[in-house]
Amino acid sequence: MTKGDIDPPPFFKKWSSMYWLVLAVLAVLIVVFYLITVSYR
């Protein structure tokens, strides 16, 4: 085992498109939920 094994990898080095997709969907959901909240108040 080397010290590199227990260090986390650089954040967002790969896979960033999938990560951004998850975050974008969350952002859209929050906006939609907010719009529902204010329009049916």
- Which amino acid does the sequence have at 31? V
- Which positions ≥6 away from 12 have C-beta within 8 Å? 19
- 17 lies in the binding site for other proteins (CB under 8 A): no
Shortest gap between Cβ of 27 and other proteins (angstroms)? 10
Residues of this chain, 18-37, that bind other proteins according to CB under 8 A:
18-19, 21-23, 25-26, 29-30, 33-34, 36-37
Closest CA to 29 of 18, 21, 41: 21
Grouping H, G, I as helix, E, B as strand and the rest as coil, residue 21 is helix
Binding site for other proteins (CB under 8 A): 1-9, 11-12, 15, 18-19, 21-23, 25-26, 29-30, 33-34, 36-37, 39-41
